[in-house]
Chain A
Amino acid sequence: MKEIVIISGKGGTGKTSIVAAFAAFAGSKVLADCDVDAADLHLVVQPEIVYREPFSGGGKAEIRPDDCTNCGICMDHCRFGAISEQDGDPKINQIYCEGCRLCARVCPVEAIDFKPAESGWCYISKTPYGPMVHAQLNIAQGNSGKLVTIVRQKAKELAEKEKRDLIIVDGPPGVGCPVIASITGSDLVLIVTEPTLSGRHDMLRVAELAGHFRIPALVCVNKWDLHPASTELIEAEARRIGVKPVGRISYDSSVTQAQIRKSGIALFPESRACKEMLAVWQCIKHNLAK
């Protein structure tokens, strides 16, 4: 079984649109949306949820006001600035609480409860392109890295059970915790970038991250025709650091039109972007088989 993760460094370069296209091109596979704090893949693959389970990213502390003696010890020890006095009583801000439980342990009268946080949901859905694992992080909940790991784990189990030999992962932007959780141990990453200074800068950082974890990386320049000279530069630089360019995709308003119709670009098979994304996919398939 192979797992390919689509990442970008910079946000908004077209990761999800490309994953939606690959969903239609690839044979037997499982889709996984690991951009759990701003998930969008479900908007273009018409999922029908068949299974859901709650996710807890850890615990949160809460003070029982009736038992609190207002000694202030918890406030002195919290390093996250999550406890402050409100109307004379210490109160824990649930958004700032990182769930270290230290306050509950130092409280001399044990007036602090520690409960698992309801951080979000993990879903398995049926789509016309095969099963998809996706998730929803509740508002202002942390630990997206842990949820990403769960999504990938579920996708793997599903692929094994249904004997599907490929997992296509829609990754998050950036190079931080959720990206690291999305790519570690995968077989290949595709970096989707754009022909801008920002696109180049962010591609280099995320390629370095892939190198750090020894994961082979490919690159594709989306909307390449917006600045052909930058496209050339990015491809040359990618080659220099051992990241193989696997094609260019033109700026094409049909991608947005397809999105408005809740679909990937395969809805418009004659469009330029569709043909180019198919060519990119074929190139990736070739690289995956190696």
Chain B
Amino acid sequence: MKKPFKIAVASGKGGTGKTTLAVNLAVTLAEGGKKVHYQDCDVEEPNGHLFLKPVIESRTPVTVKVPVVSEDICDACRVCASVCEYKAIALIKDTVLIFPELCHSCGACRLFCPRDAIRETPREVGVVERGEGCGVVFTQGLLNIGQVAAPAVIQAVKQSKRGDDDIVIIDCPPGTSCTVIEAVKDADAVILVTEPTPFGLNDLKLAVEMTKALRKPFAVILNRCDIGDDAVQRYCFEADIPIVITIKNDRRIAEAYATGGLVYRLDEELRRMYEAASFFMLRWRRQLDGEGTEQEAKKREAAP
């Protein structure tokens, strides 16, 4: 079976239009006959559901492993606390105290406990919801309020595969830190959405550096292209980064967005833009697939 093409939609700066682009692109591709799976990996503030309005078919809790100490076996040797790099285990007098918020579930305490007094139990940190809306398969993660284990929830969203997924669109959180890296790390290609302002440019540069560090092919979509200056376009030109489409600042888009409406068919120009973006994605896939097979072919040739 053909592997799905995974496109991550990321941005650096928040509020540049990631979700608008991701959901409208998903629906455009679905209407073109592709089996599209939209995955909302902005698990701190997922918004895609407001536009795709999915019927939720299943809800699965996301858990992380946290250590539990059997006090009757523990002899307070302090090994667990000494191997925890995250200071999630402390001993007060002879009692082991565990701070689940600081735990990274690395398993060191359990592995090194000389008396085998530690087991791990699941702790709920969020939920993954699956369903379907606007002809698109929908998955979103939701981090429980007060929890910090966003990467675990993101991982659970990405694992929600469907056998016949053709294209997966990963809606990423803003920024460039560990949550974004988790969302982007197994994508085939990355779309960076930005706007032509100094903040947009600064955060685009950070996002480009991050995407390069992860060795992902990437391209830019310039949203509200007429609100600021031309510094983003000049940067993309000089750095040889393709700009897939540019979308004008339009009060009607803002109004549709405000009320949870899709915009890909708002007028002829937007319809053309979204179709152009869809074609770009499909061509990109063929190009990357082609490169893949070329490389594999070379490898086969090189092998004895």
Bound pair (A, B): yes
- In the complex the two chains form, what is the Cα distance from A198 to B256 in whole Å? 12
Interface string of A227-249 (1 = CB under 8 A from B): 10010000000000000000000
Give the bracket for the number of chain B residues in contact with chain A: 35 or more
Indicate if the CB atoms of A12 and B150 lie closer than 8 Å. no
Which residues of B from 230 to 262 have beta carbons under 8 Å from A? 251, 254-255, 257-260
Contacting residues, chain B, for A202 (C-beta < 8 A): 45, 47
Report if A40 contacts B (CB, 8 A).
Answer: yes
Interchain CA distance A96-B186 in the complex, whole Å: 12
Say whether B199 faces chain A, with CB atoms less than 8 Å apart: yes
User: Which stretch (B31-39, B159-167, B175-183) binds chain A?
Assistant: B175-183
- For the complex formed, measure the closest distance between the CB of B288 and the CB atoms of chain A, giving whole angstroms: 21
Q: A227 is contacted by which of B45, B50, B258 (Cβ under 8 Å)? A: B258
Q: Which residue of B lies closest to A13 (CB)?
A: B15
Cβ contact within 8 Å between A40 and B148: no
Q: Is the CB of B213 within 8 A of A95?
A: yes
A144 to B150, CA, bound (A): 13
Q: With A137-B177, A140-B214, A262-B198 known to touch, is A40 a contact of B203 (CB < 8 Å)?
A: yes
Contacts of B198 in A (CB 8 A): 40, 43-44, 259-260, 262
B19 engages A198 (CB within 8 Å): yes
CA distance A259 to B173 in the complex (A): 24
- Kindly list chain B residues whose C-beta atoms are within 8 Å of the C-beta of A208: 145
Interface of B with A (CB < 8 Å)?
11-16, 19, 44-45, 47, 50, 83, 85-86, 104-108, 111-112, 143, 145-148, 150, 173-179, 181, 185, 197-199, 202-203, 206, 209-210, 213-214, 227-229, 251, 254-255, 257-260
Nearest first, the 5 A-B pairs at minimum CB distance are A11-B14, A12-B15, A100-B106, A174-B44, A11-B174
CB<8 Å pairs between A and B, sample of 25: A10-B15, A11-B11, A11-B45, A11-B174, A12-B14, A13-B15, A35-B175, A38-B14, A95-B181, A105-B83, A139-B213, A141-B177, A143-B178, A174-B173, A175-B143, A176-B179, A177-B148, A197-B258, A198-B50, A198-B257, A205-B145, A230-B259, A259-B228, A260-B197, A260-B229
Interface residues, chain A, with chain B CB atoms under 8 Å away: 8-13, 16, 35, 37-38, 40, 43-44, 58-59, 77, 79-80, 95-96, 98-102, 105-106, 137, 139-145, 172-180, 194-198, 201-202, 205-206, 208-209, 212-213, 226-227, 230, 253, 256, 259-260, 262
